[in-house]
Chain A
Amino acid sequence: SQKIEQNSEALNIQEGKTATLTCNYTNYSPAYLQWYRQDPGRGPVFLLLIRENEKEKRKERLKVTFDTTLKQSLFHITASQPADSATYLCALDTNAGKSTFGDGTTLTVKP
């Protein structure tokens, strides 16, 4: 069956460190993968999109990698700040524009 797994429900790190979040999937062949940020009580906010033929994408302190052989995406936040504390969702394109989301990883950055 198709499955999307994001590493541990919660991740706690110290301010200034790099946070690494993982998204693994099985039985999908996504054309692209997206990462979203969600704050409590709010809708998800788009961060980055990476396509199947791209290995890495960067945006300011954010970096995403996509390994279609390992069926895994890594999401990095460098020089993390308490304001980065939120839930991060990965989403796979599984059918022409319809995305399937993982359950998210809640990141807490401690000052």
Chain B
Amino acid sequence: DTGVSQNPRHKITKRGQNVTFRCDPISEHNRLYWYRQTLGQGPEFLTYFQNEAQLEKSRLLSDRFSAERPKGSFSTLEIQRTEQGDSAMYLCASSTGQRYQETQYFGPGTRLLVL
């Protein structure tokens, strides 16, 4: 068990470009979450998966954001036509999804800067 990993750790892009982030959860964790965090704020929920099914997507999430978890293992988060307001830390977390084992284990995050 190597924990949750995220790649890349840092991404600088120009406004209007597309970016994709990857998250590898802890193996055998069924649930995978994406959050966004800006300076001085707590993590803000974006979406989550139970295995390969995307169960919920935040209403705050625009159509430029899409996430997949095709085989129920790793997940990708894509942002199309990036805007400066997308600059933030993108955090991934995973959990077993079992009752009484709800703890989420977070990855180190991907820091995005949109110029």
Footprint of A on B, CB under 8 Å?
Answer: 4, 31, 33, 35, 40-45, 48, 56, 91, 93, 95, 97, 102-109, 111
Q: Which of A6-43 contact B (CB under 8 A)?
A: 9, 32, 34, 36, 41-43
- Total A-B residue pairs with C-beta atoms closer than 8 Å? 54
A48-76: CB near B (< 8 Å → 1, else 0) gives 01000000000000000000000000000
Is B40 in contact with A103, judged by CB distance below 8 angstroms? yes
Given contacts A41-B111, A42-B108, 15 further A-B contacts (CB under 8 A): A4-B42, A9-B40, A34-B102, A34-B103, A34-B104, A44-B43, A44-B91, A46-B103, A49-B102, A93-B102, A97-B102, A98-B56, A99-B104, A101-B42, A103-B40
In the complex, which of the residues A42, A49, A95, A104 contacts B103, with contact meaning CB atoms closer than 8 Å? A49
Residues of A within 8 A of B35 (CB): 101
A109 an interface residue at 8 Å Cβ cutoff? no
Footprint of B on A, CB under 8 Å?
Answer: 4, 9, 32, 34, 36, 41-46, 49, 89, 91, 93, 95, 97-104
